[in-house]
Structure 1
Amino acid sequence: MKVTHSVSTRIAHYLFLIIVFSGIITALSLAIMASNKSDAELINVSGSLRMQAYRLIYMMEHEPQKVDMSLSQYRLSLHSNALLNISRQRFAPQELKQAYHNVIRRWGKMEAYARQNNLAAYRKEVGSYVTQVDNFVYILQNFAEKKLTLVVMVTLFSMLLIVAMVSYVIWYTRRKVVNPLHQLVQASTQMQMRQFNHIQLDTTNNNELGTLAKAFTHMSAELFKFYTGLEQKVNEKTQKLNQTNRALSILYHCSQQLSVTDINRALLQKILHHVMATEHLRVIEIIIDQAEHWNIRLGAEAEKLSWQEQNISIGSDKLGVLRWQAGLPCPDTRTMSNIAQLLGRALYFHQTQRQQQQLLLMEERSIIARELHDSLAQVLSFLRIQLTLLKHNLNLEDKNAKQKSLQIIQDFEQALSNGYIQLRELLTTFRLTVQEANLQLALEQVIDSLRNQTEIPICLQCALPSQLFNPQQLIHALQIIREAVLNAIKHAEANCIEVIAHVNEDGENELLVRDDGIGIPSLEEPAGHYGLNIMQERCRQLNASLCISNRASGGTEVKVILPDTIN
């Protein structure tokens, strides 16, 4: 904006005008005072004319020879520069000039009388001449007094006029500078206190302060818009943070509830009730596929409100639907989506856990069936055959039939005894549990159960980590070691049995059962015995390799090489 009326320029002009006016008045006063400087000389010279006029009378009477000299002196006094300047002064009154010229003319007559030494005529005229000179002095004195009075009047008038001009400049400065600056300071203080609707500033002045007021008003308006927008953004961010915090709180609560306890209908109802209260929902409903007894609806349905829903799924598998009618404020769809994901994971984990439990139960039943088939079933089948042979021999009248029957009964008793032993071993196997998550303690538990069946010392060395096996795999490993130790007790005729679980020189996890007995004659298992086959089956379950061999120093060694990771 272009400033057309500058306040500073105008004040400078006013001050310059005051200075110029003061200079003019001062110069005029000095001029008048300079002219008054010769007034005293004029009065003195004029006063000496009277004295010299009377003195000539004395000269004419007593010293006639000095009359010419006195007349010369008188002429010099009458025509002195001080008196001659009266005619040159422009401001001298005409009356004064005329009185001076009259005195000069009248002295011409008086000088003639004196030169003629006409004392009587001179004496007669000297009185009127002196009166005329007195009139000139009086007029001159009045002129001097008038000049002094003029100086005083001019000085007083000048002072009053300067005071008036200074007062106007002060008034103008206060109106155009001080008041706008005071308003700007007050508006700045209000803006500092965040009162953007400050006092009204005078923006109509086409000067620097008017421009400043317009710029300040525009700046305050822009700051008000910026501050209002910033405050609105802060409020929006605060609301979003509160909403996010509420959503995180809901998700944390739901996650805690779903992870701490087993999922059931009461738990789902509790979670839905918490979500409904927190998100201000009118009604919420969960529909679970293939589990209609877990379907839950909370709240009363509103006809005017539309339903919103979110699929409960894991990947591409749909597990159910979460539906709700929103109140005010509306819930965040991302929060409801995350809640649906949490419910989906919980339901999927529950279903997977149930399926895993079913699989474990089926696997355990399969193991029991296999163990029964590989032990008791084979013994019972053998006993059935032996019973058929016994019946057949009892019906024969051969003299050797009785001996054969006794042999069959003896085999029958031996098979029955073996079957009973195998049944006890199976019961021990099925009752075998891992009470501690510690491989060495589990091995000691198995070995302690076998020490009462033999007097052979059994030594244990365990250096493998307990985390190598899960509980099901640990049962297989313990059963392999138990079977190997039982075989050593029954057939090795050993003095010492060693059980070692360590990492071998090749860095492989290894289980060893070795003795210093007679060794194993053949790897072919005798009829009616299935221990080696069962050990092979258990190693396959562990993805391990089984090696049974005779030791060079005597005895048998059963070696199980475990994989790095057991699945």
Structure 2
Amino acid sequence: MSSTLTADSSADPGAAAAAVASPPLQRRRDRLSTRIVTTTLLALITVAAMIGWTLWLSWNLEGAAAAINDTGSLRMRANGIGVALLQGEASTPQARQGRDDVEATLARLERGVPARPLFLPSDSQIQQQFHRVVQLWQQQMQPDLARALAGQGGGAYLASLPGFVAEADRLVRLIEADNTRKTSLLRLSQAALLLLASCGTLTMIYLLYLWILAPVQQLQGGLQRMSQRQFDVRLPVESRDEFGELAVGFNRMADELSGLYLGLEARVAEKTRQLATQNRELEALFGMAEFLNQSMDIEALCRGFLARVQRQFGAEGGSIRVIDPEGDKLHLVVSTGLDDGLTEREHCMPVDACLCGRATQQGVVVIRDFRQMPRAPSVEFPCQKSGFASLAVFRIVMANEVLGSFSLHFRTTRDVTPSEAQMLETLGQQLGVALDNRRLGAKARQLAVAQERQLLAQGLHDSIAQGLNFLNLQVQMLDGAARDGRLDEISEIVPLLRTGVEESYQDVRELLSNFRSRLEQGELADGLRDTVERFRRQTGLSVALDIDGDGAPLPPEQQLQVLFILQEALSNIRKHAQAHTVRVRVVNGRDFELSIRDDGQGYDPLEVAQRDESHVGMTIMHERARRIRAHLTLISQPQQGCEVHLLLPAHARQTA
């Protein structure tokens, strides 16, 4: 591609069209990436083949060098055997060792050792000479050596030794000659590889300049002239690769810039105005979201929401209305800028009685000018009577549920743009989420109060109600005994009454203590110690408290439920166990465990399970355990005490 530029505004549109309309196969073939990848792969394959060839030659040279070393050792070992035979029987072990070494060397040369590497060259002359050496050793030298080792004299071995050495020496020279040829070939290959690398590098530099650098310089020159506002510059389209497509795109961009430059300032001003509007809308949305997330009651929430929306859109009046649970009435929550008569009349009205209710059923209602609405001459809207000229009503939505509507009243003619309508709908959704969150929070608090009242009722039923029932029976018996003058029976009933009154008093104190308990983070240990100490003072029993573990503290809600379970368990021990000692153990690790064990009379779990009504104290403990997702287990046998075990697993623990 040429690096020249042209200032002709009609620069070769036919070439650009031909480049765009070229067939897909042709485009793929002409793509710069295809040429670069193909050239690189060819160069890589050639270089890899040359390097592989030189590595193969060097590996052969290394194996042949090891073979030369081992073949040369044959001469030394054969001569060593001859020397040992000349020294007589004393050197027979050396002769046998030399024989074994020669045979091991021949076997190694025959099979090769790729790991060293060691192997004979594949030349036929070398292979024939090696087989001649092996044959000479096996057919002549080895039998002569065997007879010499058997005591028949070593003359035959010594006579054939020079011939064996000469053949081994000839094998060594043949291998050396082969290595010399391969060394020359290796050097020639390395020189060729060097030449190929140099030529390939120069070729790649030239191709990269031709394919990439020259087009980039041409494109850079066009961009520089474009930056100087020379919008008549065009690039010649001389190829069908990526740079050809860039040239086509550059020319198209130049055409568009030259057409848009005159109206650029107006467009920039318009975009700036749009961005400013969007920024204001985003600020309003974020500010409203921050306000709605604050803690306040529903009326203050609605009043603050309405004040911000009126200020944002310049409305002189506004109102927020919610639909009652039955869905047929619309209740006014807050209003500003509306006269007292209007708010009094529309404090509670049917959903379909006015435009504010109609918006909850049909969607957005926007009235630009009341005077232009088609209606009967005698019909006049209450907003119009109050002096308002325009109205905009939007729904308050939570998910797919319509909670109500909010309205903006304008005293002058006011139109609502689509962007403003979208923003107001978004604000209605934010208000719907905030109202729904307040309602859910109120329901959650009501549910918590109801649960605590239920537990309180169960506690009263299990303790005070039963105690009062017992006292009522004793009073009736006392009344009958007093009428009949049975003083001995009266003397028996009075201590029972005193005991019943004292137990009821203790039950009341325990209940008051339970429902006044409040814990903050990290105060569980102190609460456990206070509860155990109070139980010890009330009963005089021996109570041991062990607290182990260095786990994370429980949150206040879970701490409080654990403390309630301990109090209920100790209360049951006081009332029913007839125990002498009590042991309370707390282990706070990954899991949280609470164990309360006594040595009292215990109970039969099967007998308790067959009762028509379960023990209320046990039910309360189970409910409190379920509330914090813990597992409560009661273990007991008659006359063997009882154990209450609470396990709060790690996955159920809340972060304090």
- Report deviation, 1:380: 0.8
Q: Which has the larger radius of gyration?
A: 1
Q: TM (normalized to structure 2)?
A: 0.45
Instruction: State how 1:429-508 maps to structure 2 within 5 Å.
Output: 429-436=514-521, 439-450=524-535, 452-453=537-538, 454=540, 456=542, 458-461=544-547, 463=549, 471=557, 474-486=559-571, 491=577, 497-502=583-588
- Report the Cα distance in structure 1 between the residues aligned to 2:523 and 2:421, rounded to whole angstroms: 48
Cα 1:237–1:549 change in 2 (3 A) is farther
Is it true that 1:545 corresponds to 2:611 in the alignment?
Answer: no
Cα distance, 1:426 vs structure 2: 1.0
Q: Is the 8 A contact 1:464 1:509 kept in 2?
A: no
Cα offset, 1:423, TM superposition: 1.0
1:239 corresponds to: 273
Give the fraction of aligned pairs with identical amino acids, expressed as a percent.
24
Matched letter for residue 395 of structure 1: R
Give yes or no for the alignment of 1:308 onto 2:392. yes
Aligned equivalents of 1:531, 1:449: Cα separation in 2: 28
Q: Deviations over 1:413-449 (max 9, x none)?
A: 1111111111111111121112336544543453454
Q: CA deviation at 1:246?
A: 1.3
Q: Indicate if the aligned counterparts of 1:439 and 1:465 stay in contact, CA closer than 8 A.
A: no
Cα deviation 1:463-522 (Å, max 9, x = unaligned)? 496676672x5433212212334555785755662321446xxx865321235x466365
**Aligned with 1:294: secondary structure?**
strand
| Contact 1:497–1:513, Cα closer than 8 Å, also in 2 | yes
- Tell me which residue corresponds to 2:492: 407
Corresponding residue of 1:534: 617
Q: What one-letter code is carried by the residue in structure 2 that aligns with 1:405?
A: I
Partner Cα distance (2:271, 2:297) in 1: 36
1:513 paired with 2:596, answer: yes
Aligned match for 2:290, one of 232, 253, 256: 256
Q: Of the candidates 282, 302, 305, which is equivalent to residue 268 of structure 1?
A: 302
Q: Which residue of 1 aligns with 2:323?
A: 289
> In the alignment, which residue of structure 1 is the partner of 2:408?
324
Q: Does the residue aligned with 1:295 lie in a helix, a strand or coil?
A: strand
**Alignment gaps of 5+ in structure 1:** 4-190, 197-218
- Residues 407 and 455 (structure 1), Cα distance of their counterparts in 2 relative to 1, 3 Å cut: closer
Q: 1:522 to 1:237 in 2, by over 3 A?
A: same
Per-residue deviation, 1:192: 8.0
Aligned partners of 1:411, 1:551: CA distance in 2, in Å?
26
Counterpart for residue 117 of structure 1 = none
Residue 260 of structure 1 aligns to a residue in which SS? coil
What's the offset of the Cα at 1:356? Answer: 2.2
Q: Which amino acid aligns with 2:279?
A: N
Counterpart check, 1:421 vs 2:506:
yes
Alignment partners' CA distance in 2, 1:299 and 1:280: 15
Give yes or no for the alignment of 1:363 onto 2:447. Answer: no
Deviation at 1:220, TM superposition (A): 10
Q: 1:292 is matched by which residue type in structure 2?
A: H
* One of 338, 344, 354 as aligned partner of 2:432: 344
Instruction: Name structure 2 gaps, 5 residues minimum.
Output: 1-7, 9-225, 232-252, 325-329, 340-366, 372-388
Counterparts of 2:458 and 2:571, CA distance in 1: 20
| Equivalences for residues 75-90 of structure 1 within 5 A | none
| Stretch deviating more after TM superposition (444-453 or 337-346) | 444-453
CA 551–510 in structure 1, closer or farther in 2 if over 3 Å, else same: farther
Cα pair 1:468 1:566 within 8 Å, conserved: yes
1:262 partner amino acid: M
Q: Are the equivalent residues in 2 in contact too, given 1:314–1:345 (CA < 8 A)?
A: yes
Change (3 A) 1:465 1:479: same
Which letter maps to 1:538?
M
1:88-167 equivalences under 5 Å are none
Q: 1:532 to 1:502 in 2, by over 3 A?
A: farther
Instruction: Give the number of equivalent residue pairs.
Output: 347
In the alignment, the residues of structure 2 paired with residue 369 and residue 519 of structure 1 have an alpha-carbon distance, to the nearest angstrom, of 28
What is the aligned partner in structure 2 of residue 558 from structure 1? 644
Change (3 A) 1:192 1:561: closer
Q: Determine helix, strand or coil for the equivalent of 1:362.
A: helix
Secondary structure of 1:403's aligned partner: helix
Shift of 1:294: 1.8
Q: Would you say the 8 A contact 2:573–2:579 is kept in 1?
A: yes
Equivalent position SS for 1:460: strand
CA distance 1:464–1:279, change in 2 (3 Å): farther
CA distance in 2, matches of 1:337, 1:465: 49
CA 1:349–1:497: 2 relative to 1, 3 Å: same
Q: Indicate if the aligned counterparts of 2:568 and 2:621 stay in contact, CA closer than 8 A.
A: no
Match of 2:223 in 1: none
In structure 1, distance between residues paired with 2:472 and 2:581: 38
| CA RMSD of superposed structures (Å) | 4.3
Separation (CA, whole Å) in 2 of partners of 1:391 and 1:542: 44
Contact 2:474 2:497 in 1 (8 A): yes
Q: Is the CA contact 1:444–1:460 (under 8 Å) kept in the aligned structure 2?
A: no
Shift of 1:271: 2.7
> Which whole-Å CA distance do the structure 2 matches of 1:462 and 1:233 have between them?
73
Provide TM-score, normalisation by structure 1. 0.52
Q: Hey, what's the Cα distance between the residues in 2 that align with 1:368 and 1:298?
A: 49
Aligned to 2:177: none
